[in-house]
Amino acid sequence: MANIGDLVQSADWKAEKHVPVIEGPDKAAASQAVNLEVSVGKQIAHPNTTEHHIRYIEVYFLPSGEKFPYQLGRFEFNAHGESVQGPNTSSIFSEPKAVVTFKAAKSGTVMALAYCNIHGLWRSEKELKVE
């Protein structure tokens, strides 16, 4: 049986279009609201077609010294050009981009997962120092 951790892929987002990009501050004051933008396809555009698309992005925060991360949000992208006329015939296409705002009392790691319907799960991380 496969371990799910072995199935999650990672790479540099500048060279791989599936990796979620986490943009936001590197530092924050304790309990200050932190805004993060998470997207897929920042450097290299990801296709957004009925056949090949990003289905969702999940964002987590793992405070330093804690065992489990907290889920900050799950963002689903449900419009991929499909319609009753067939694939890629709609004029509506979701873009895989989300904004999440949270407060943290201590430093930790922001983690993002993105799911491509063809290429599976991809992850990235960003450290956040809370002072």
What does DSSP say about strands 120-130 and 27-28: parallel, antiparallel, or unpaired? Answer: parallel
Contacts of 105 (CB under 8 A, 6+ apart): 30, 31, 63, 130
Residue tagged active-site, from 27, 66, 82, 119: 119
Q: Which of 14, 27, 52, 103 is catalytic?
A: 52
Among 17, 42, 53, 80, the active-site one is 17
Cβ pair 53, 75 in contact under 8 A:
no
Q: Please say if 116 is a catalytic residue.
A: yes
Note if 80 is an active site residue: no
- Pick the catalytic residue: 42, 58, 82, 116? 116
Q: How many helices (DSSP H) and strands (DSSP E) are in the chain? A: 1, 9
For the chain, the 3-state helix, strand and coil shares in percent, each to the nearest 5, are 5, 50, 50
Catalytic residue among 46, 53, 80, 82: 46
Coil, strand or helix at 24: coil
Residue 17 known to be catalytic: yes
Among 18, 42, 53, 80, the active-site one is 18
- 53 classed as catalytic: no
The answer to whether residue 16 is catalytic is yes
Residues designated catalytic? 16-18, 46, 52, 116, 119
